A = this chain, B = another copy of it.
Amino acid sequence: MEKDPHLNITLIGAGTIGLSFAAFHLTHLPSPSHLTIYDPRPNLEAHILSTLPTFFPPGDSPTPASLSQIKIAHSLPSAVSTAHIIQESGPESLPLKQSLWADVERHAPQDALLWSSTSGLPASQQAQHMRDKTRLLVVHPFNPPHIMPLLELVPSPSTSPSVIQRTQAFWTSRGRVPIQLKRETTGFVANRLAFALLREAVHLVEQGVVGVQELDRIVESSMGPRWAVAGPFKSYHAGGGSTGLEGFFANIGGTVQACWDEAGRVNVGDGWEEGVFRQAKECYGTVDTEERDRITRRVLEVVEEERKRGKR
């Protein structure tokens, strides 16, 4: 499929995630392919024209040639009838996605790949009203997908191996990092991990150990850059020297357990919200995501560059 010069991708849903994927696909689309966008919102074309450029670096707007690859669809059947890939980033409603996929199945080519960007609704549930459940899987991005390399591939037990393999190949050939989870699980993996840290972060702020901004600076100047280069297991495995992760736990397993024993168990709605939200507002106002994205791109570039340099 990657070699096919003509590749039709259809995006269903033109919200933030959908248009971020649109920006990604536009910069990786072999000509003369098409990127079809379908969304029931009114004034879809004006919305796309005004929003899509915000997903490109300043001074690097989509070219007229690439914009001309976009087709606006006004009905689901016309959106999917010639698509090779159908990627939905619609609202997080299970009934809605269930009926969407049943519809898509009726109108799309038989071998089209069906991807959901959901951050929580498993493919096995989304596929419940489909006749052929082998073609659907979750392709969960880390926001914003036009910048972050990760895609969590979460097949249902019915998803066919060849569908998974073609999905892997698509993203890998575009320099992205598709990671397949072995089974469906609440929240998938990236969010589970990030939210576990967030929970402890809220606890430490609530306990008055540290403020919101200080906590962020701690992460930005320690585990952030470290984990951009080597994930937690690899980092602690390195920390154990020649004895690896086992040596690490032999050395400081007691400290790790002491931290776990005192870890917070805050819940949403426990009452910490007001103070934490206020601190965030006071420190950050509205975050300059353009700057954040510019720096993130550079970080990803140098990691990639240096990794390649190491392999030479």
Contacts and interface: CB of A to CB of B under 8 A. Distances in A.
Interface of A: 119-120, 142-143, 148-150, 152, 177, 179-183, 185-187, 189-201, 204, 207-234, 236-239, 241-242, 244-246, 249, 252-260, 262-263, 267-269, 273, 276-277, 279-281, 283-284, 286-289, 291-292, 294-296, 298-303, 305-307, 310
A151 B228 CA distance: 19
A289 B238 contact: yes
A270 B231 CA distance: 23
B190 A210 contact: no
Contacts of A256: 195, 198, 268
A197 B214 CA distance: 19
B306 A295 contact: yes
Contact of A233 (B212, B239, B257): B212
Given A120-B258, A182-B209, A193 B280 contact: no
Nearest to A120: B255
A216 B233 contact: yes
A142 B222 contact: yes
A236 B277 CA distance: 11
Given A229-B295, A294-B310, A298-B305, 20 more contacts: A119-B255, A120-B258, A142-B222, A148-B222, A179-B210, A186-B258, A189-B215, A192-B262, A192-B263, A197-B197, A213-B233, A224-B228, A225-B300, A228-B228, A237-B287, A241-B286, A244-B280, A260-B268, A295-B302, A295-B306
B287 A310 contact: no
Give the oligomeric copy count: 2
B209 A181 contact: yes
Given A224-B224, A257-B267, A299-B299, A286 B236 contact: no
16 contacts: A142-B221, A143-B239, A152-B218, A182-B208, A189-B215, A193-B223, A197-B223, A215-B233, A220-B229, A225-B299, A226-B296, A229-B296, A234-B280, A238-B289, A244-B280, A257-B267
Contact of A221 (B148, B254, B267): B148
A277 to B, nearest CB: 4
Contact of A223 (B194, B210, B218): B194
A193 to B, nearest CB: 5
A195 B259 contact: yes
Contacts of A227: 219-220, 223-224, 227-228
Nearest to A307: B295
A252 B14 CA distance: 19
Nearest to A211: B182
Given A195-B259, A207-B185, A245-B276, A177 B236 contact: no
A189 B209 CA distance: 8
Contacts of A182: 208-211
